[in-house]
Amino acid sequence: MPPGHATHPHEPLSQSLARILHRDPGHLTANRVIVGTEGRRLYLVMILFSLPFVAWVSIPGMSTVLGPMIGLLALRLALRKTPRLPKFLGDRVLPPKLKTVILAGGMKFCRLLEKFVRPRRTVWMSWRLAHITNALLIVFNAALLALPLPSPPFHGSNALPCYAIILLAVSMMEEDGMMIWFGYFASAVSTAYFVFFGALIVNQLGDWLRPVLHWLGLQ
d(CA 191, CA 183): 12
Mean pLDDT of the chain, nearest integer: 79
The whole-number pLDDT of residue 168 equals: 95
Containing 161, the helix (H) or strand (E) segment is: helix 159-174
Contacting residues for 150 by C-beta, under 8 A, at least 6 apart: 60, 204
Percent of the chain with pLDDT over 90: 21
pLDDT of residue 41: 65
Question: Using one digit for the tens of pLDDT, what is the confidence trace for 150-171?
Answer: 777 777 889 999 999 999 998 9
List, for residues 20-68, the tens digit of each pLDDT value: 777 665 677 777 777 766 555 678 888 888 888 888 777 777 888 889 9
Query: Could you give the angle at which helices 128-146 and 63-79 cross, rounded to 10 degrees?
Result: 170
pLDDT of residue 105: 65
Confidence of residue 7 (pLDDT cuts 50, 70, 90): very low
Please give the pLDDT value at position 216.
Answer: 56
Q: Between 193 and 214, where is the model more confident?
A: 193
pLDDT above 80 (res 6): no
CA gap 206, 106 in Å, rounded: 32
**Other Cβ atoms within 10 Å of 208 Cβ, number:** 13
Q: How far apart are CA 74 and CA 51, in angstroms?
A: 16
Which of 3-17, 41-55, 83-97 tops mean pLDDT? Answer: 41-55
Strand partners, 29: 93
What is the per-residue pLDDT for 125?
A: 83
For the entire predicted model, the pTM comes to 0.79
Q: How far apart are CA 48 and CA 114, in angstroms?
A: 14
Longest dimension (CA), the chain: 56
Do the Cβ atoms of 2 and 131 come closer than 8 Å?
yes
Query: What is the tens place of the pLDDT at every residue in 96-124?
Result: 777 777 766 677 777 888 788 877 767 88
- What confidence score (pLDDT) does residue 95 get? 74
- Total residues found in the chain within this entry: 219
Burial 181-194 (b: 16+ CB within 10 A, else e): ebbeebbeebbebb
Whether the CA torsion 15, 55, 60, 156 is positive or negative: it is positive
Q: Where are the beta strands (DSSP E) in 35-193?
A: none
Model confidence at 219: pLDDT above 70? no
